Structure 1
Amino acid sequence: MSKIDKYIGYNVFVGIVIVLFVLVGLFIFFDFVDEVDDIGKQNYGLWQAILFVSLQIPQHIYELFPTSVLLGSLLGLGAMANNSELTVIRASGVSILRIARAVLQVCLPLTLIVMIIGETLAPQGEQYAYTMRSTAQADKEYISFQSRYGFWARDGNNFINIRTIQHDGGFGAITLYQLDEALRLKSLTLAQSAYYEQGMWQLRNVHKDIVEADQVRSEVSDKLAWNAVLNPNLIKSVIVSPEKLSIFGLYTYIQYMRESGQREEPYQLAFWQRITYPLISIAMIFIAIPFVFGSLRTVAIGQRILVGSLIGIGFHILNQTTGNIGLVYNMNIIASALFSPILFVFIAVILMRRLI
Structure 2
Amino acid sequence: MNIFSRYLMRNIFIGFAAAAGLLIPLFTTFNLVNELDDVSAGGYHWTQAILIVLMTLPRTLIDLGPFIALLGGIVGLGQLSKSMELTAIRTTGFSIFRIAMVALCTGLILTVSLGVVDEWFASPLQQYALQMKNAATALDGSNESQGNILWARSGNEFVTVKALDDHNQPVGIEVFYYRPDRSLASYVYASHATVLDGNMWTLNHVSEKNWVNGKEIVEVKESLKWQSIFTGMTLEELTMPSDSFSIKQLNQYIVYLKNTGQPSIEFNMALWQKIGRGILTLAMILLAIPFTFTAPRSPGLGSRLAIGVIVGLLTYISYQIVVNVGLLFRLNVEMVTITPPAFLLIIALILIYQFDRRS
TM range (shorter): 0.7 to 0.9
Q: Return the match for 1:211 from 204, 215, 221.
A: 221
Partner residue, 2:16:
16
- Determine helix, strand or coil for the equivalent of 1:285: helix
In 1: Cα distance, 2:104 partner to 2:265 partner: 33
Shift of 1:323: 1.4
| Count, aligned residues | 306
Contact 1:126-1:240 within 8 A present in 2 as well = no
In 2: Cα distance, 1:18 partner to 1:319 partner: 25
Shift of 1:21: 1.9
Q: Return the match for 1:187 from 198, 201, 206.
A: 206
- Give yes or no for the alignment of 1:34 onto 2:48: no
Partner residue, 1:90:
90
Contact 2:9-2:102 within 8 A present in 1 as well = yes
Q: Return the match for 2:190 from 176, 196, 210.
A: 176
In 2: Cα distance, 1:84 partner to 1:55 partner: 41
Shift of 1:95: 1.4
Instruction: Identify if the C-alpha distance between structure 1 residues 347 and 296 changes in structure 2 by more than 3 Å, giving closer, same or farther.
Output: farther
In 2: Cα distance, 1:124 partner to 1:208 partner: 44
Partner residue, 1:103:
103
Shift of 1:60: 0.4
Partner residue, 2:136:
136
Amino acid at match of 2:19: V
Contact 1:159-1:176 within 8 A present in 2 as well = no
Contact 1:66-1:284 within 8 A present in 2 as well = yes
Instruction: Identify if the C-alpha distance between structure 1 residues 73 and 155 changes in structure 2 by more than 3 Å, giving closer, same or farther.
Output: closer
In 2: Cα distance, 1:252 partner to 1:175 partner: 28
In 1: Cα distance, 2:173 partner to 2:304 partner: 49
In 2: Cα distance, 1:284 partner to 1:189 partner: 58
Partner residue, 2:280:
280
Amino acid at match of 2:171: I
Worse-matched range after superposition: 28-37 or 277-286: 28-37
Shift of 1:161: 7.1
Instruction: Identify if the C-alpha distance between structure 1 residues 81 and 39 changes in structure 2 by more than 3 Å, giving closer, same or farther.
Output: same
Instruction: Identify if the C-alpha distance between structure 1 residues 151 and 9 changes in structure 2 by more than 3 Å, giving closer, same or farther.
Output: farther
Shift of 1:283: 0.7
Instruction: Identify if the C-alpha distance between structure 1 residues 184 and 334 changes in structure 2 by more than 3 Å, giving closer, same or farther.
Output: closer
In 2: Cα distance, 1:264 partner to 1:280 partner: 24
Instruction: Identify if the C-alpha distance between structure 1 residues 335 and 209 changes in structure 2 by more than 3 Å, giving closer, same or farther.
Output: farther
TM-score (ref. length: structure 1): 0.75
In 1: Cα distance, 2:222 partner to 2:172 partner: 23
In 2: Cα distance, 1:57 partner to 1:162 partner: 35
Partner residue, 2:255:
255
- Determine helix, strand or coil for the equivalent of 2:269: helix
Output the aligned Cα RMSD.
3.7
Instruction: Identify if the C-alpha distance between structure 1 residues 138 and 346 changes in structure 2 by more than 3 Å, giving closer, same or farther.
Output: same
Partner residue, 2:313:
313
In 1: Cα distance, 2:256 partner to 2:124 partner: 20
- Give yes or no for the alignment of 1:350 onto 2:346: no
Contact 1:15-1:73 within 8 A present in 2 as well = yes
Instruction: Identify if the C-alpha distance between structure 1 residues 110 and 187 changes in structure 2 by more than 3 Å, giving closer, same or farther.
Output: same
Partner residue, 1:160:
171
Amino acid at match of 1:120: W
Matched residues, percent identical? Answer: 30
Partner residue, 1:203:
none
For structure 1, the 5+ residue unaligned runs are 164-173, 191-206, 217-234
Amino acid at match of 2:206: S
Instruction: Identify if the C-alpha distance between structure 1 residues 81 and 178 changes in structure 2 by more than 3 Å, giving closer, same or farther.
Output: closer
Q: Residues 189-217 of structure 1, C-alpha deviation per residue, up to 9 Å, x if partnerless?
A: 79xxxxxxxxxxxxxxxx9874379xx8x
- Determine helix, strand or coil for the equivalent of 1:276: helix
Instruction: Identify if the C-alpha distance between structure 1 residues 316 and 155 changes in structure 2 by more than 3 Å, giving closer, same or farther.
Output: closer
Partner residue, 1:340:
340
Contact 1:70-1:285 within 8 A present in 2 as well = yes
Shift of 1:266: 1.5
Amino acid at match of 2:164: A
Contact 2:103-2:285 within 8 A present in 1 as well = yes
1:40-51 matched pairs, under 5 angstroms = 40-51=40-51
Partner residue, 2:120:
120
